[in-house]
A and B are shown apart, each in its own frame.
Chain A
Amino acid sequence: MAEMIEVRDLSKTFETDDGKVEALQHITLSIQAGDIYGIIGMSGAGKSTLVRCLNFLERPTSGTVEIEGKDLGAMTEAQLRATRREISMIFQHFNLLMQKNVIDNICFPLVIGGMKKKDAKRRAQELLEIVELSDKALAYPSQLSGGQKQRVAIARALAANPKILLCDEATSALDPRTTQSILQLLKEINQKYGITIVIITHEMSVVREICSHVAIIGDGHLVEQGRVSDIFAHPKTAEAKELILKGSGTDRRTLENQQREMMKGKCCIRIVFSVNSSFEPVIANMVLKFGQPINILRADTKNVEGIARGEMILSLPDDLKIQTQMKAYLTERGLAVEEVNGYVDE
């Protein structure tokens, strides 16, 4: 697969009245053609700045960004504008022209690109069908719901046949159900048209739902990157673990807090089942073997890249020797085992 986006040693420093702010430091990552690449981090981590560096809405202070091998920093203004037509972007607050109707909004990038108004309208109609909003062609953005506005924004972004679609917190202003349908639409677009998608989000559920790869940004640094399935099963850094544990969505936060209370002072582990390990009743067998009860604090299956993955948090007996043996037992059976005490106690 070809490299679509190549970021090398990118740093961005903002000069503010209170001095220098280092928003991004030494970020290096590469995104392959056809990927759905998630960039996740807490708010203020610098991910929005990073996505703006990918089309040079923000110029990096140092480092390079290459799109299909072409260095954006070496381009003239005109070349950069031409390249931007191949990199579309959608936003958290949609950023539609409020004084133009839906069809004119979608025509806008085409007209900028020099297409005749009549041809642009025809193309816009096609796009409205893709996003299932044909009946809203003459409506104004203020008459649409949030999800509909984002669909119009997606149609507008697809109008000029881009190679890359950048999504800056595109679902953060939407309710969970609308988020689902927008993510589904993005997935379809990726599969049907082979458009490389970069998704900026603070929600692990979004990454889990549709991303193939993920980069975790913390405090301006790239802390971890790789396939979503790998990071989900073997998170290495504290940031990754925190995001995964938080990833169940906001509506479950209370439940999680209760769990944390229960986990205090106990030896707790998080295990992840892969497909084949789901056949053997591992936990039941373990309890029988050691003759010791264990407490299941959380059990869940999550859809990671289209494959169901089981996730469990267990509280083990207080006996240290048995704890070690139990962990070994689980590891032997091919499960990813990870202590979660350190995180819980923080």
Chain B
Amino acid sequence: MWTSDLTFMMLEGVRDTLLMTLLSTFFGYLLGLPWGIVLAVTDKTGIRPNAVVYKALDVLANILRSVPFLILLILVMPLTRAIVGKTTGSAATIVPLTIAAAPFIGRMIESSIKEVDHGVVEAAQSMGADTFTIIWKVLLVEARTSILVGVTIAIGTILGYSAMAGVVGGGGLGDIAMRYGYYRYETLIMIVSVVLLVVLVQIFQTLGMRLSVKLDKRK
């Protein structure tokens, strides 16, 4: 039977999932935004080509992106313990989530920036703008819509990863689905967890897309 205890547990699950997702997205962008900017700028078609820097960040992104998340989760446990003090629970999941999200976010930022019309960059250069100004006032402004779509995708993906962390006791809705649904065959709890996850992704997707359309001045 469904009890108020279960309702409370589900609400806690939603809270933990939200916290994990949003904090990981935040830290992910803290690393991924500069990562993607440097990738776009140092590429051979960028405004400051630098083959060495580009290659280093390019290879690192590829390596991190090719490790399956579940394995990365276990691989970085020593680091997680060093930062958070433990390897289970929501707070501990933020560390591997951030590490998995950063290169993925970096790639999305890189591609968003590369979509910016080269002519506008050339115009800024002809006005005597320096590299920092071009990045800050031209590239990021013109790529704004595309970057926001990226944020929406990132949140959805990270939310999915956070549920995966439930396998190793990560906390949140994924953890609940794992413990009750898988180990105890409580199908109802499993289904409720999944529905809640779907609803959360829907909400972020809708909000993100609305915001990016609203901020797009191209039409």
Contacts and interface: CB of A to CB of B under 8 A. Distances in A.
Interface of A: 55, 57, 77, 80-85, 87-89, 91, 93, 95-101, 108-109, 111-113, 140-142, 160, 166
B120 A97 contact: yes
Given A97-B141, A99-B141, A142 B123 contact: no
Interface of B is mostly: helix
Given A91-B119, A97-B120, A84 B217 contact: no
Contact of A81 (B119, B122, B128, B215): B128
Contact of A99 (B125, B127, B128, B144): B144
A85 B128 contact: yes
B39 interface: no
B210 interface: no
B128 A113 contact: yes
Q: Top 10 A-B pairs ranked by shortest CB distance?
A: A84-B128, A95-B123, A95-B119, A81-B128, A89-B126, A85-B128, A109-B127, A140-B217, A112-B129, A99-B217
A98 B218 contact: yes
A78 B127 CA distance: 12
Given A96-B123, A99-B141, A100-B217, 8 more contacts: A80-B128, A81-B128, A83-B128, A84-B128, A85-B127, A87-B126, A91-B119, A91-B123
A57 B141 CA distance: 22
Nearest to B133: A112
Contacts, number: 74
Given A140-B217, A142-B219, A100 B141 contact: yes
Interface in B97-120: 117, 119-120
Contacts of B124: 108, 112
A48 to B, nearest CB: 11
A6 B68 CA distance: 60
Interface residues of B, number: 24
B119 A88 contact: no
Contacts of B133: 112
Nearest to A101: B217
B5 interface: no
B41 interface: no
Contacts of A166: 126
Contact of B122 (A57, A96, A99): A57
A142 B129 contact: no
B137 interface: yes
A240 B123 CA distance: 31
Interface string B125-157: 111111001000110011011000000000000
A192 B167 CA distance: 75
A210 B61 CA distance: 54
A83 B125 CA distance: 11
B217 A142 contact: yes
26 contacts: A55-B126, A57-B125, A57-B126, A81-B129, A84-B125, A84-B126, A84-B127, A88-B126, A91-B119, A91-B122, A91-B123, A95-B117, A95-B120, A95-B123, A96-B120, A98-B120, A99-B141, A99-B142, A100-B141, A108-B124, A108-B137, A111-B137, A112-B129, A112-B137, A113-B128, A142-B219
Nearest to B121: A95
Contacts of B141: 97, 99-100
A112 B142 CA distance: 17
A97 B128 contact: no
A19 B128 CA distance: 32
B142 A95 contact: no
A131 B146 CA distance: 32
Contacts of A57: 122, 125-126
B119 A112 contact: no
B14 to A, nearest CB: 35
A140 B216 CA distance: 10
